[in-house]
Each structure stands twice: as structure tokens, then as C-alpha cells.
Amino acid sequence: MGCGMGKSELQAALLIQRWYRQYVARLEMRRRCTWNIFQSIEYAGEQDQIKLYNFFGFLMDHFTPARNLISHIFRENEICRDIEWERYFCYKSIEVPESYTGPHLTFPMTFCGVSKLMEAFKHKQQLHARYVLQILGETWRLLRILPNINYVSVCHNQEITICGDLHGHLEDLLLIFYKNGLPSSEKPYVFNGDFVDRGKNSLEILLILFGFLLVYPNDVHLNRGNHEDHIVNLRYGFTKEILGKYRVHGKKILKLLQKIFSWLPLATVIDHKVLIVHGGISDMTDLNVIERVDRHRVREACWLGLITILSNVRILTSYDWFDGLVNSTDISIQIVDLLWSDPMPQNGCIPNEVRGGGCYWGPDVTEEVLERHNLQLLIRSHECKQDGYEFCHNRRVLTIFSASNYYEVGSNRGAYIRMGPDLVPHFIQYQASRTCRELTLTQSVGWTERSALRALREQLFVHKSDLISAFQEFDPNNTGMISLRHWASATETVLNLGLPWRMLRPQLVNSTKYGMVDYQQWIRELSITEPKLEISDTSILETMYKNHSNLETIFRIIDTDHSGSISFEEFRQTWKLLSSHLQTEISDEAIADLAQSIDFNKDGSIDINEFMEAFRLVDLSDVYFYLCSKFRPLVTLLHEGT
């Protein structure tokens, strides 16, 4: 190599290569830190949620008023037979008005019908509630006759396509179909769960997938993910999406979806060799057991904590809805493991404390489970990957993730798998949106970083008082300064996110002098606007910030008729519940005060959406930045004025 180039060119090239590689590595370090931030905040949220449900279980045992409040949520009228449900879900009485400009569907569903649907969604049209209920009804009927595990074989000339999490990212699904072709009997597909939540088009994705399922029931296979769970949907956006899009029929649609989710199959096996499941496995995984289970009776998988607690309380076994759950605690655990677990590099099988459900399983468990079932590969999803896919456990476990730009524009690529009869996976990667493909590495890292830091500053802000207390412990003489080491240690103790605070320090703290942090000033500098509420008790405000996700989840659970508002009394109950869970004191007076101030309509009830809007955190530094860029002359003027 050299083509007649001299020594000096060689040296020069070597130097430049070395220099540039260092630059790229620094960017990669930043990107990885950003990633860790997003991921730890995301998982902390999931963990938070599971804790909340465990708490409900505790309440059922000990807190009588709450029992009344919550028991009507649990009581599912399981005694209603499906035929009565069908009457309830009947779409026939719903009229489609003349003014409706969206797509009209005919049944039985055809390929043209689904194509029409996709076109409509591309043009941002909304399907009428009548047709939504009709598709969902047909889907429900089909899913009820499907087994827990789909056994699929790949024919000689065929390839099967396997997709991971989509999370409401319609652009990604359309991109996959564009690159790979639409599902058909020549082009079978497996979709490995988490179709909904987070993205804005969860329903559109479901309708398209269900549409193809109805047209090609032998060639389209759907696995349940941990987000196909109506309690998780309350927190992560799907419930909100449906209620926002369908004000009149939203709750009926949600109810039917609840049933559909519980009837989704749990796994797909290809040629008895490749197992596809959303989360993963555990040392307890036994497909023979899973095959025989009544999968629809093990409803919200994330109520496992509750089940474990309640199974110890004999008095509650009188509830007939409860029977199926209690007898199958072990099976419930197996199913939760399938939907929530993550692989780890070390051997063993330990509870997944980060997510709060499922387990972490090691390469030894992979070997054992695969061998026991005579399988050669496990394909799963559940975790976002930079390149859309990743092998682990000696290439016996493959993670596939299909939602690109999951955390932020430019954060990651999506991917899907094509597999022929040789069962060797081939990957196709992509990234939706033209803008982000044009971003250079530097720009996309910067963009994602800003977003992550914003999220992190929000977390820091909501833990203000705890942070100050923690800092003060390191500052007994009240100098107002602490060392960087102590700053990092205190911050980690309070936030418990497992982040490398020392590495993040330059991005978060401007005011250091000789390695010391002026923490009071730093807290002040976390400039985030206060909500539009006038409340005397500021401690309740902080509790609100910290727990606003939990709060919203509890609100939506209490709002059983999905009207979007709750009464004062229910609001008061919610706070009592929450303060008991958090083991803090919140006086009745403070609650009444709060309720008054957020009753914006002064009609004695609280609109959940308005409430959440009212104290949504806005990062002031963003607002300032935006203003500066748009209105430079004005801002200069204002500055000169002061």
C-alpha cells in the first residue's frame, strides 16, 4: 500500500487519522452519557410505577376507605360472558355522518381495505369510531381462537420479517413497509410487541397491524409486549391518545383494547428453532406450561406485586375475579418474565429491580432454556439499541428494536430482521425523517444531548429541597460551598439514577471555584418556571412535581368512566392515598386549598388534563434561548432597559 506516496505523506496521514479518531471517540462518550441519562430516567419511571401498584396491594389489606375506592376498579364483572361484552361493543348503532371525510371500510377486511387505511393515515386522517370498533371487534374474535404460542414455519423460497418495538412511531412502520414490502402470504411478518405508548400514532399502528392480521391470519403474527397493558397505557400516553382522538367513544374503545391486549399471543416460534418473545426469559421459563395457560385471565402483567401480596390474604379469595389469579401466581411470574426481562452479561437470574418487573437473566440461563426446548436462537425486543439491533450471550440472544429516534431525533436507528429457511438473521437498518439523516454526527449528538440534559435538569429541579439537605450535610459550617466529590455523591444519593455525575458535571454546573460548587446558586440556576397555581404550601408543590406521573396515573385510574374529570372528594382521596404511599404529611387544609386553586372552571370538579397542563415544567433557559434567536433586537432593548 502506498501507491508511490512518500514518507511524509504517510506520517501526515497517520497523524490526521489519530487526531480524527480521538475526536469521534469524544463524541461517542458524550452520546453514551446522554443515552445513559435517558435510559435511567425511563427505567426509574417504570420502577416507580410498579412500586405504586405494590402499594395498592398494601392498601387493599390495610386501608378500609381506600379499599372501597379501589375495589371498584378491580372488580371486573368477570361474570359477564363474552356475548354480553359483544353487545356492549357493538358498533352498529354508531352512525357515520355525511360530513365524515375519512376512509370507509367494508368487512370482511381486504388487502385494499388496509391499503386504504394506510393511505388515509399517511394523510393524517382519522378513522371513524364505528370502523375502529368494527376492526377491533373482528380482531378480538380472531385472537380468542389463537394459541398462546404461534408455531410458524418458513417455506423454501420465503423469508420471514421480524420487527421490534414500534411505540406509536407510524413513520417507522411505513418506512419498514416501504423498504420491505407489505405483509402477504408470500411475505410473512412477526411484530414483537410494544406497538403503543410514547409515539403519537399508537392507534394507527394498531389498526394497520390488526388490519393485516385479519387479512392474512396465517402470515402475520403479533406478540404481546409489556406496553400492551392498559395500566401501563395510563401512564405512557396511549390512553390519553385515545381519549383525545375519540371524545365520545374513547372509553368503549379502551375497554375493547383492554380485552384485545389480554388475548394477544405471548410468543412465536419459527421452525421449532427460533423463539421470539418481547422481553425475554428466566430460569423458570417452560414453554409447555405457557402453552396451556389461560393467557387472557392473567391480565395486567404488572400487577404481579399485587398478586403476590394478595395471595397471602385468604379473606380476599372470596372475590371470584381473584380465583384465577391466585392459583396461577407461578404462571403469572413466568408471563411477566416473558414480557419484562432483560439479558445481563453475568451468569445467573436475578430480579429486575431497575424495571420493577421480570428478571435479569444470564448466558447460562439462555443456554439451559434453549437447550431444554431444543432451540437455537432467542429474538427479543424491549430495549432500545443504538443501531437498532444487538447480539449478546454468544450470539444466542438477539435484540431487535424498530422505533428509530426513540429518545430524541438522531438518538438511534431502527432495524428489522429478515430470515430465510437457513434461520440466519439479516438486518436492515433505517432512521425515519429526512432531517435527521442530514445531521452530522456532531449535530445529532448535540441535539440529543440538549434534550437529555433538559430532562435531567427537570429531575434535579423537582428534588430541590432534598438536594439542598443532602448538600448541607457536607457543609456543616454553612459556607455555601461543597467539593465536587461531595456534590456528585449527594446528587446520586438523592436522585438514585446511577449516572456518572462527575462526567456530567461540566454540562450541569457552571459555577465552580477551585473545584468547589456554590450549591445554593446552582439550585437557583436550575431555572424552571413555576406553575400557574397560587398555593401557600410550597412543600405540596414539590411533592406534586416529583410525583406528577404517579398522580396522573392515579387520577386516570380513579376516573373510571374516563370522563376526564374527577370530583373534589376523589381528588382529596387521591392525595390521602399518595401521601400515605410517600409517607409524608399533607394536611386536609392544604389539599382543599390546592383543589380550589386548580378548579379552573369553578364547577366543583377537576379536569385532569388541565391540571397536568397547569404544572407542566417548562425549562426557562429554553424559552430564553428561543426568544434570543427570534427577537434579538427586542431582547437587547430589554437588557439595555435594565
Partner 1 sequence: MMSQTDETPAVAKRRDNNMAESNNQSAETKLSDVHKRIKAAFETFDNAANNTVDVREIGTIIYSLGCFPSQADLHDFIAEVEEDHSGYIHLDRFLPAMTKVLLEHKFPPIPKDLLLQAFEVLDKDNKGYLEPEELTKYMTQEGEPFTQEEMEEMLTGLADHERNVIYYKDVINQLAIDPDM
Beta carbon nearer to partner 1, 176 or 344:
344
| DSSP codes of every residue in 8-64 | HHHHHHHHHHHHHHHHHHHHHHHHHHHHHHHHHHHHHHHHHHHHHHHHHHHHHHH-H
205, exposed or middle or buried, with CB in 10 Å at 0-12, 13-18, 19+?
A: buried
**What's the min distance (Å) between Cβ of 269 and partner 1?**
28
Contacts of 79 (CB under 8 A, 6+ apart): 320
**What's the min distance (Å) between Cβ of 23 and partner 1?**
5
Which residue, among 617, 624, 220, 261, has the nearest Cα to 458 in the 3D structure? 617
Alpha-carbon span 287 to 291, nearest angstrom: 6
Which residue, among 477, 545, 543, has the nearest Cα to 516 in the 3D structure? 477
Beta carbon nearer to partner 1, 313 or 441:
441
Beta carbon nearer to partner 1, 387 or 613:
387
**What's the min distance (Å) between Cβ of 2 and partner 1?**
7
Q: 123 an active-site residue? A: no
SS (H, E, C) 589-621: HHHHHHHHHHCCCCCCEEEHHHHHHHCCCCEHH
Beta carbon nearer to partner 1, 3 or 315:
3
Alpha-carbon span 214 to 109, nearest angstrom: 6
Neighbours of 323 (CB within 10 A): 13
Output the CA torsion sign for 142, 264, 119, 131.
positive
The single residue of 128, 167, 169, 227 carrying the catalytic annotation is 227
In this structure, the strands spanning 274-276 and 377-380 are parallel
**What's the min distance (Å) between Cβ of 490 and partner 1?**
16
Beta carbon nearer to partner 1, 33 or 533:
33
Beta carbon nearer to partner 1, 97 or 345:
345
Beta carbon nearer to partner 1, 138 or 364:
364
- Residues forming the site for partner 1 (CB under 8 A): 1-3, 5, 8-26, 28-30, 32-33, 36, 344-346, 440-442, 450, 485, 498, 500, 502-503, 506-507, 512-515, 621
Which residues on adjacent β-strands are paired with residue 149? 267
**What's the min distance (Å) between Cβ of 9 and partner 1?**
6
Contacts of 559 (CB under 8 A, 6+ apart): 565, 566, 570, 608
DSSP SS3 for 180: helix
Beta carbon nearer to partner 1, 125 or 511:
511
**What's the min distance (Å) between Cβ of 356 and partner 1?**
17
Helix axes of 464-473 and 484-495: crossing angle, nearest 10 degrees: 140
The CA-to-CA distance between both ends of the chain, in Å, stands at 66
Beta carbon nearer to partner 1, 31 or 295:
31
**What's the min distance (Å) between Cβ of 302 and partner 1?**
24
- Helix (H) / strand (E) element for 140: namely helix 129-144
DSSP SS3 for 633: helix
Alpha-carbon span 222 to 500, nearest angstrom: 38
**What's the min distance (Å) between Cβ of 29 and partner 1?**
4
| DSSP codes of every residue in 368-419 | HHHHHTT--EEEE-SS--TTSEEEETTTTEEEEB--TTSSSTTS--EEEEEE
| DSSP codes of every residue in 63-92 | -HHHHHHHHHHH---TTS-HHHHHHHT--T
In 225-270, DSSP assigns E strands to 267-270
What are the φ and ψ backbone dihedral angles of 612, each rounded to 5 degrees?
A: -65, -40
Beta carbon nearer to partner 1, 19 or 64:
19
Alpha-carbon span 169 to 526, nearest angstrom: 32
| Distance, C-alpha 51 to centroid of its chain | 16
**What's the min distance (Å) between Cβ of 433 and partner 1?**
17
What are the φ and ψ backbone dihedral angles of 518, each rounded to 5 degrees?
A: -85, 95
Contacts of 166 (CB under 8 A, 6+ apart): 172, 173, 191, 194, 195, 199, 205, 402, 403
Q: Which three cell numbers stand for residue 631?
A: 427577537
Beta carbon nearer to partner 1, 212 or 361:
361
**What's the min distance (Å) between Cβ of 510 and partner 1?**
8
410, exposed or middle or buried, with CB in 10 Å at 0-12, 13-18, 19+?
A: buried
**What's the min distance (Å) between Cβ of 340 and partner 1?**
17
**Residues annotated as catalytic (active site), given as ranges:** 227
